[in-house]
Structure 1
């Protein structure tokens, strides 16, 4: 129940920040933007104090750890893979063009006799 109350408070803080943007219409834009940022930061702080918020923070930390374990391809490997994909796309486009024109000739030229 406490988590639900914290979520409601977090949403109210976010709404207050956005409302502050509109209520401070006659002030400088920096104050209006700071109002929204303050609402977002307050919302995040209250949200992270909940059980789902802590689980999300743990998940995000683990995701960053796993991302650091990834072996990223070198520039040469990236260029080679991109070239292979581009070549495949060109070959597939030619194949589909040939099949399309072949079926067009078969149906319109041979079967229906519309092309003379």
Structure 2
């Protein structure tokens, strides 16, 4: 691989890693917001995480499209790491998003039960 293609691949891999890393930071904030039952904030930070995941995915997609057009890239451990990081963070986003829905249902049910108990005590 010529130096320019190699450098472009490394730059794309780093963009992917940086955006995926930023998404992971947002996901940590989402879990904290879920624990605080701040569902509005949870949705807000999940959207920010998804935006970073999308940026990382666009960088990856550009390389895939280039290869489909005939531009070959040599194997790269850094790019493999970038893809792995992106896919792992995307899975974490799916899990956090699903967890939000489950926790919201549980909180609603617990609130309803507590209301019934309070009514029975009166």
Instruction: Return the TM-score normalized by structure 2.
Output: 0.38
Q: Which has the larger radius of gyration?
A: 1
Give the structure with the larger helix fraction. 2
- By relative contact order (CA 8 Å, sep 6+), the higher-ranking structure is 2
